[in-house]
Structure 1
Amino acid sequence: MKIISFTHNGTARWGLLQPDGIAPMDHLAPTVKSAVEAGLIASLPSDTKATLKPDEIALTLPLPDPGKIICVGVNFPDRNAEYKDGVEAPPNMSLFPRFPQSFTAHDQPLIRPPESEKLDYEGEIAIVIGTGGRRIAEADAWSHVAAATLCNEGTIRDWVRHAKFNVTQGKNWDRSGAMGPYLTPITSADQLADIRLTTHVNGELRQDDSTSRMLFPIPRQIAYISTFTTLHPGDIIVTGTPTGAGARFDPPRYLEPGDVIKVTAEGLGTLRNTVEDE
């Protein structure tokens, strides 16, 4: 099942992406987030007939109005070594927030700002919380996940070094990252436990790893994050990127206008974006 958000004749809507078009679902709930809150995501009528054509709609972020967006850093083997700072990998995960306006939709350009040419890519999987909770046990974590999508967690690299203890500045430039193309309902741990995640830039494979190799698996992320903050339906966790981002090449290989980035994961589709200067 492929759940999309879109605009049609200037109105924000959502529905199912079918082989022959789009089947609107906003008669069941006004937004995807409200459908998540109502627990409808896993039980949508997947055989609903399409009534809109792809050329009649414009995709938006699959969850246009999320709650918290929390990102997990340095979460795959070799990522800690990429920093070349001689520091051992910490026992707990690194976390930072992103704001919704820092993301754009599938097939939309990532925006490189005039303040820096060091726009980088990070292919990731993002999960949407369906059932909220505090101090969620790892054994129960998957029951709190409603859906998953893909993320290009675009980063302005020199701006993550503007302060000593945080990376927030470099992670939140308007439309520097992307999510999409759609939400896939998650009803079993098997859907995400061991799937391949890749990133291609202009057809060249740059990142390639499996979710089974995460240093902090998704259930651990949910348990750890919910220890200090209550998770709510519609919150998003961006789960970490494999080695191979542009900053880690020698010399670095940052994104430039005209580049095409594709993030792909088994069962979640392909998120495609280009690059434009602001």
Structure 2
Amino acid sequence: MKHIAFKDGSIAPVNNIYCIGRSYAEHISELGNTPTGEPLVFLKPTTALTTDNTLRLPSYSEDIHHEVELVVYINQDVADDQIPDLSCIAGYGIGLDLTARDIQNALKAKGMPWTTAKGFRHAAWLSVLTKGIPTTHQLSLMVNGDIRQDDSTDKLLFDMTYQLNFLHEKFGLRQGDIIYTGTPKGVGRLVSGDTLVAKLDTESYTIHII
């Protein structure tokens, strides 16, 4: 079973990995997509999750993109008849949703699910988590010293409370669920040899691509 780690040294098990797409207006525009009016949800297998600082790109894609995101961890089962609030969040951190864009585009053209484009090993990197409830945070990602993504979570089209309620209505929230809340503009290609610095407010994490 996969686990996540908190800054105080404690660990917790992972259940589902939910990802919210098209959460920032400028990211929707840069990919030429259309706003959905509600969260676009996809899942990643737990085998995609990693906290290592070295990420290996899959051999079957030539166009892996980075997507930096605020990530939250759910610490309790929410009853089916309950409306979830922010108190069900145990902690938060910064994550990378890696996407095989060439594979995704081909699958979308065929009307097929995106799982092979989103669920490969190391496709869900996650930092250690801060205990508490997220507020407004600044996300950034540098690649080889160049800033690619830099934006505030106050630009989320669907705020945290809305995302929690939407996911619970559709699927049910359970202890151990992780939510990747969406990426701002600036996504781009990664290649072997890249060095990334993911930053959440003042905390930074260095990641190497092989």
Q: Same-fold call, TM > 0.5?
A: yes
How far 1:135 moved relative to its partner?
Answer: 5.7
Residue number among 75, 91, 114 corresponding to 1:147 in the alignment: 91
Conserved? CA contact 2:62–2:102, under 8 Å: no
| Larger Rg over CA atoms | 1
Q: Does 1:238 align with 2:180?
A: yes
The residue number in structure 2 matching 1:16 is 8
How far 1:104 moved relative to its partner?
Answer: 2.2
TM score, norm. by length of structure 2: 0.88
TM score, norm. by length of structure 1: 0.68
Superposed CA RMSD: 2.0
2:18 aligns to what SS in structure 1? strand
The residue number in structure 2 matching 1:9 is none
Q: Does 1:117 align with 2:51?
A: no
1:97 aligns to what SS in structure 2? strand
Residue number among 195, 205, 208 corresponding to 1:271 in the alignment: 205
2:86 aligns to what SS in structure 1? helix
User: How many angstroms apart in 1 are the aligned matches of 2:147 and 2:206?
Assistant: 14
Cα deviation per residue 1:125-157 (whole Å; 9 max; x = unaligned)? 1100012213653xx521110111211111111
The residue number in structure 2 matching 1:76 is 24
2:162 aligns to what SS in structure 1? helix
Residues 1:233 and 1:177: Cα distance change in structure 2 (over 3 Å):
closer
Gaps of 5+ in 2: none
Residue number among 102, 120, 123 corresponding to 1:173 in the alignment: 120
1:79 aligns to what SS in structure 2? helix
1:15-164 equivalent positions in 2, closer than 5 A: 16=8, 32-33=11-12, 65-85=13-33, 87=34, 89-107=35-53, 109-133=54-78, 134=80, 136-137=82-83, 141-163=85-107, 164=111
2:36 aligns to what SS in structure 1? coil
- After TM superposition, the runs of 4+ consecutive aligned structure 1 residues lying more than 4 A away are none
Gaps of 5+ in 1: 6-13, 18-24, 26-31, 34-64, 247-253
Identity of aligned residues (%): 25
**Residue 226 of structure 1 aligns to which amino acid in structure 2?**
H
Aligned residues: 203
How far 1:193 moved relative to its partner?
Answer: 2.5
2:38 aligns to what SS in structure 1? coil
Residue number among 234, 255, 263 corresponding to 2:190 in the alignment: 255
2:25 aligns to what SS in structure 1? coil
2:56 aligns to what SS in structure 1? strand
